[in-house]
């Protein structure tokens, strides 16, 4: 008997990474300004500060990233139905970390966020790795040491965490979500 065995790959997880031009100074200034005016929220951040979400177009300093993301959506993903919704800053001091979480807010049983991302503004080799958790085998994970000016885009359902910051410098990032229009 001859067997016709087919291999199918289902539900792969796509992760995008790109390094952008250095915008750390204006973004650090903006993050610190917002922090001085905003007590922030406590979600996955432990020992750190997370700003309240703000809208795309609200700050001139984030426009370069928003423009890149719009191009990414239309040119790379070839999608016209996604919008950048909320953006927020994370400032994590020494020993702070982000607990395991994902970005799927649900409305009427449908995921509100489709893609999420992180732009690293201030990191170094001891700032704490981004850990991506396998959606199928929960004990599997991939650890990634982020670089300054690195942008990482992941599916919003993908659980992730960030290891404790062992650096004396704050780990600073700008996160965001994409939602269906």
Domain ranges for the chain, please list them.
22-112+137-164
**Could you write out the DSSP letters of every residue in 16-53?**
EEEEPPP-HHHHHHHHHHHHHH---B-SSEESSEEPPP
Contact 159, 115 (CB under 8 A): no
SS3 85: strand
Residues 59-103 have pLDDT tens digits of: 999 999 999 999 999 999 888 888 898 999 999 999 999 999 998
The per-residue pLDDT for 109 is: 53
- Spatial separation of the C-alpha atoms in residues 147 and 141, rounded to whole Å: 19
pTM confidence score: 0.91
The per-residue pLDDT for 95 is: 98
The per-residue pLDDT for 107 is: 55
Tokens standing for residue 26: 């204006």
Tokens standing for residue 71: 């191009």
The per-residue pLDDT for 80 is: 82
The per-residue pLDDT for 120 is: 98
- Spatial separation of the C-alpha atoms in residues 178 and 56, rounded to whole Å: 11
The per-residue pLDDT for 124 is: 96
The per-residue pLDDT for 106 is: 57
The per-residue pLDDT for 147 is: 97
Weakly modelled stretches of the chain, pLDDT under 50:
none
The per-residue pLDDT for 89 is: 98
Q: Which residues contact 118 (CB under 8 A, 6 or more apart)?
A: 130, 146, 151, 152, 173, 174, 175
The per-residue pLDDT for 168 is: 98
């Amino acid at each position: 008997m001859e067997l016709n065995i087919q291999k199918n790959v289902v539900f792969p997880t796509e992760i995008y990474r790109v390094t952008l031009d250095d915008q750390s100074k204006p973004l650090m200034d903006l993050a610190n300004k917002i922090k001085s005016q905003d007590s922030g929220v406590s979600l996955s951040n432990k020992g750190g500060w997370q700003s309240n979400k703000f809208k795309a177009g609200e700050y001139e300093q984030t426009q370069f990233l928003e423009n890149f993301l719009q191009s990414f959506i239309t040119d790379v993903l070839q999608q016209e139905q996604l919008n950048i919704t909320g953006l927020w800053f994370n400032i994590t001091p020494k020993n702070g970390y982000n607990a395991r979480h994902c970005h799927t807010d649900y409305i009427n049983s449908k995921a509100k966020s489709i893609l999420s991302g992180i732009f690293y503004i201030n990191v170094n080799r001891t700032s704490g790795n981004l850990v991506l958790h396998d959606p199928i085998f929960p004990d599997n994970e991939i650890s990634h040491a982020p670089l300054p000016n690195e942008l990482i885009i992941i599916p919003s359902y993908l659980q992730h965490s960030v290891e404790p910051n062992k650096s004396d410098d704050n780990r600073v990032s700008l996160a965001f979500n994409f939602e269906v229009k």
